[in-house]
């Protein structure tokens, strides 16, 4: 204790021990503002699409009285279509930023399939998620397994839902509309309209599964891993805990 200042001073040996035990935190800027904005807007759009899509396929019980006085399903369909436009426009913007942004922004659209180190990283993360390895690897962007899941899960399902969804939307807009010109070929390819409805609904359940896995992995990594996850998509900085 320094009597004059009232400050406790550590001996050199104690200070060295404290330094060795201290958790060193390093922060790296990963996700730019457009990526973060897209992520949260997209998450809201996907939630609205899943909720309204479920109700469109399994409508609420009928309401008595004049149909003009009960426009519940009309509002549900409008919310579904509006969220679909937000989802589609946001995805096009995200595709543009894959070229305009930093080198982390294109990870959603590419996979280094022919790099042996990438697959070693995938297997390492699989062992981590199966509670075999005690510690995961440290990655500035998406870890290899998350990157594989984003491309084969989110990206593939998103494209499929765009194609089938706007094909069904073209039926309401009519022949000759932009949706019919661009996606009208999808319905005869699948057989008939009801077939497209069925596959579109299966795609919705695929997206539900992906979202549950994505949220679980992000929260689990934030708690048990060696780097931040949820806060990174808010601030843009990935913080390493050791």
pLDDT single digits (tens) 127-178:
999 999 988 888 888 999 999 999 999 999 999 999 999 999 999 999 999 9
Q: d(Cα 231, Cα 242) in Å, to the nearest integer?
A: 17
- How confident is the model at residue 59, as a pLDDT? 85
pLDDT band at 67 (very low <50, low <70, confident <90, very high): low
Is it the case that residue 2 has pLDDT exceeding 50?
A: no
- How confident is the model at residue 135, as a pLDDT? 87
- Chain-centroid distance of CA 43 in Å reads 7
Task: Give pLDDT tens digits for 34-63.
Answer: 999 999 999 999 999 999 999 999 887 777
Q: d(Cα 219, Cα 215) in Å, to the nearest integer?
A: 6
DSSP string, 16-32: HHHHHHSPP-EEEE-S-
Residue listed under structure tokens 């319905």: 187
Q: Where are the domains of the chain?
A: 30-240
Q: d(Cα 62, Cα 73) in Å, to the nearest integer?
A: 10
pLDDT band at 69 (very low <50, low <70, confident <90, very high): confident
Q: d(Cα 54, Cα 79) in Å, to the nearest integer?
A: 12
For a pLDDT cut of 70, what percent of the chain falls above it? 88
Cβ atoms of 133 and 180 closer than 8 Å: no
Q: How far is CA 77 from CA 41, 169, 170, 212, in A?
A: 19, 11, 14, 24
- What CATH number does domain 30-240 carry, 1.20.950.20, 1.20.1340.10, 3.40.50.720, 1.20.1370.10? 1.20.950.20
- How confident is the model at residue 14, as a pLDDT? 52
Q: Residue 104: which of 29, 11, 15 has the closest Cα? A: 29
Task: Give pLDDT tens digits for 81-127.
Answer: 999 999 999 999 999 999 999 988 999 999 999 999 999 999 999 99
For a pLDDT cut of 90, what percent of the chain falls above it? 69
């Amino acid at each position: 204790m320094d009597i004059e200042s009232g400050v406790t001073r550590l001996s050199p040996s104690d200070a060295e021990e404290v330094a060795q035990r201290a958790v060193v935190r390093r922060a790296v800027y990963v996700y730019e503002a457009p990526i973060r904005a897209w992520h949260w807007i997209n998450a809201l759009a996907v939630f609205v699409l899943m909720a309204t899509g479920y109700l469109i396929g399994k409508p609420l019980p009928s309401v008595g009285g004049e149909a003009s006085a009960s426009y519940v399903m009309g509002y549900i369909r409008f919310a579904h279509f509006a969220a679909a436009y937000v989802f589609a426009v946001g995805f096009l913007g995200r595709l543009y930023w894959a070229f305009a942004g930093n080198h982390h922004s294109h990870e959603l659209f590419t996979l280094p399939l022919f790099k042996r180190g990438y697959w070693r990283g995938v297997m390492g993360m699989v062992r981590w998620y199966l509670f075999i390895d005690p510690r995961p690897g440290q990655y500035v962007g998406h870890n290899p397994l998350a990157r594989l899941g984003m491309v084969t899960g989110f990206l593939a399902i998103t494209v499929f839902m765009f194609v089938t969804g706007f094909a069904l939307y073209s039926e309401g807009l009519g022949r000759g509309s932009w949706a019919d010109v661009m996606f009208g070929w999808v319905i005869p390819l699948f057989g008939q309209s009801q077939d497209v409805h069925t596959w579109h609904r299966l795609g919705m359940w695929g997206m539900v599964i992906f979202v549950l896995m994505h949220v679980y992995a992000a929260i689990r990594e934030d708690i048990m891993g060696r780097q931040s996850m949820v806060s990174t998509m808010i601030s843009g900085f990935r913080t390493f805990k050791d």
